[in-house]
Structure 1
Amino acid sequence: MKWFDNIALTLVIIGALNWLLVGIFRFDLVAYLFGNLSVLSRIIYAAVGLCGLYLISLFGRIRGFSEQ
């Protein structure tokens, strides 16, 4: 599952950088590259969101490592 953790973390970082661009420059890179709310951009937004939700489990796994 480590490979999935790495992919999820990468997608969440890309999403965070996109939000940084939106917040500072009002520039949505995903919409620019794939179209404003096109099917592909919606899939990317959904994948980033699902990976973010999945990474919530990272908190429990980090706590589990520190208790050992």
Structure 2
Amino acid sequence: MKGLDITALVLVIIGAVNWGLIGFFRFDLIAALFGTMSTFTRIIYAVVGIAGLYSISFFGRRDELGTTDEER
């Protein structure tokens, strides 16, 4: 699971950087690299979105010590 978690986190970071570029500079890096709403661009957006949804599960997970915040 750790590999999947790291992959999801990297994709979420890529998405966050892209949104930051859009918000600050009106520059969509993904569209600039792969074309505006091409099939590949839409796949990238979808995978980043799925990674974001998967990353929500990080909030409910136990940490490395095997305890939750409530148990501390």
1:6 is the counterpart of 2:6: yes
Residue 65 of structure 1: aligned partner: 68
Aligned partners of 2:49, 2:60: CA distance in 1, in Å?
Answer: 19
RMSD value over aligned CA atoms? 1.6
Where do 4+ consecutive residues of structure 1 move more than 6 Å? none
Residue 17 of structure 1: aligned partner: 17
Partner SS for 1:56: helix
Q: How many residues align?
A: 68
1:43 is the counterpart of 2:43: yes
Unpaired runs of 5+ residues, structure 2, are: none
The residue type paired with residue 48 of structure 2 is V
| Bigger proportion of residues as helix | 1
What fraction of aligned residue pairs are identical, expressed as a percent? Answer: 60
Aligned partners of 2:49, 2:23: CA distance in 1, in Å?
Answer: 18
* Structure with max Cα Rg: 2
Residue 53 of structure 2: aligned partner: 53
TM-score, with length taken from structure 1: 0.92
